[in-house]
Homo-oligomer: A and B are copies of this chain.
């Protein structure tokens, strides 16, 4: 890295949107990221607010408390809180002490709420007005304000105790007679969001109703802040990321560009868990050493039975995980779904039992072997559908993420049942 290179980067950064600088930094290996960060100039607060937790952790770690305080006071409340929530309690304390009184109070209020709740998503930069004013007065008031907070599509109407009463949309301000009163044209259609609503439910509400911004209230209906649609975009992206990564046993904070050793360790744990299930399958196979030593064709064919079960079960599991996430599965239709998935499993079991059975008969010139593998496939696909359907429901009841644990447990079931059914039937019919 030459000084000339940094000069060039600085020139480039001057013309680049902070979100693109964030993306550039995230695509650098961790070490180089720190070097570039320290040697170039750009709007630190903006860029940090666009970065993912894992990638910016290292950078924040190297900043002084003063510096972090300066950056966070320039961010939207929710972004600042997001950032602070990744720091140790002691560090947060230091950063808060380095802020001015006003920002400290504002942030402390929101830091109190769970990151994955409406409170953790909200901004406290709401503009509030009273219902008994005329639009003309509101316009006069607004024209004295230099700028509205980002993504303001509406002002919030409150009473004397700051209790939420309705939303006054900018669209209604500009289209209505300025002599009307706020309470005549305010909208009361949007139900305000309770501050402890989980962020996934908030996201579903935004998706269903197409909101831009929604008020957040506490149990006394006091207006606490607002959630805007851009924060919801992040929730949806993170949620889908999480499901995808959890399916492979990866942490959502896994940094593609983290040092080799920390990645190795993070992934080793998952491999270890899966190894336990693989040993279980081996143990089952070991129970049939007698059959295996007499008929070598069993060893050749047995992975087919296990793999078909795994694939079919994963399909059911995936459909269920998505259905649960979209709120499509309820106790009213669960039994119908179970019957359908099991029927699909058995039908597909029959189709492929015939195909695999015939291939096995021809390959090893044994009709009996074909029958054994066919029967084992039907049995395994039946149990695959059964567990693929019920596992996510049970895991959800136990508050375990089905995307994370579902796959491992399912594969264990289909491996064990696949090997046991195939080798067990072979022991009974072929020896």
| A254 CB to nearest B CB, Å | 7
A274 within 8 A of B: yes
A308 within 8 A of B: yes
A162 within 8 A of B: no
B319 touching A250 by the CB < 8 A rule? yes
The CA of A260 and the CA of B344, in the complex, are separated in Å by 6
A312-354 interface bits toward B, Cβ cutoff 8 Å, 1 = contact, 0 = none: 1011011101110011111011001100100110011001100
* Chain B, Cβ-Cβ closest to A284: B300
The CA of A328 and the CA of B282, in the complex, are separated in Å by 39
Given A247-B247, A300-B289, A303-B281, the answer on whether A352 and B29 have CB atoms closer than 8 Å is: no
A248 touching B315 by the CB < 8 A rule? yes
A208 within 8 A of B: yes
Given A303-B278, A303-B285, A303-B306, the answer on whether A352 and B271 have CB atoms closer than 8 Å is: yes
B322 touching A245 by the CB < 8 A rule? yes
A322 touching B241 by the CB < 8 A rule? yes
Given A274-B307, A322-B241, the answer on whether A343 and B260 have CB atoms closer than 8 Å is: yes
A153 within 8 A of B: yes
A171 touching B143 by the CB < 8 A rule? no
| A405 CB to nearest B CB, Å | 14
Given A175-B143, A289-B300, the answer on whether A50 and B312 have CB atoms closer than 8 Å is: no
A197 within 8 A of B: no
A299 within 8 A of B: yes
Residues of chain B within 8 A (CB-CB) of A239 are: 240
A61 within 8 A of B: no
The CA of A270 and the CA of B381, in the complex, are separated in Å by 14
B303 touching A296 by the CB < 8 A rule? no
A152 within 8 A of B: yes
A142 touching B307 by the CB < 8 A rule? no
* Chain B, Cβ-Cβ closest to A248: B318
A235-258 interface bits toward B, Cβ cutoff 8 Å, 1 = contact, 0 = none: 011011101110111100010110
Please tell me which one of the listed residues B50, B207, B275, B293 contacts residue A304 in the complex, with CB atoms under 8 A apart: B275
Q: Which residues of A389-416 have CB atoms within 8 Å of chain B's CB atoms? A: 415
Besides the contacts A153-B153, A260-B344, what 6 more A-B pairs have beta carbons closer than 8 Å? A29-B336, A143-B175, A240-B244, A250-B318, A264-B347, A281-B307
The list of the 9 closest CB pairs from A to B, nearest first, reads: A240-B240, A19-B208, A210-B230, A299-B299, A248-B318, A170-B170, A278-B304, A293-B296, A148-B171
Identify 18 residue pairs between A and B in the complex whose beta-carbon atoms are under 8 Å apart, listed by A's number. Answer: A23-B208, A143-B174, A143-B177, A153-B170, A206-B233, A236-B236, A239-B240, A245-B322, A250-B318, A267-B312, A267-B344, A268-B352, A271-B311, A271-B348, A275-B352, A278-B308, A282-B304, A285-B303
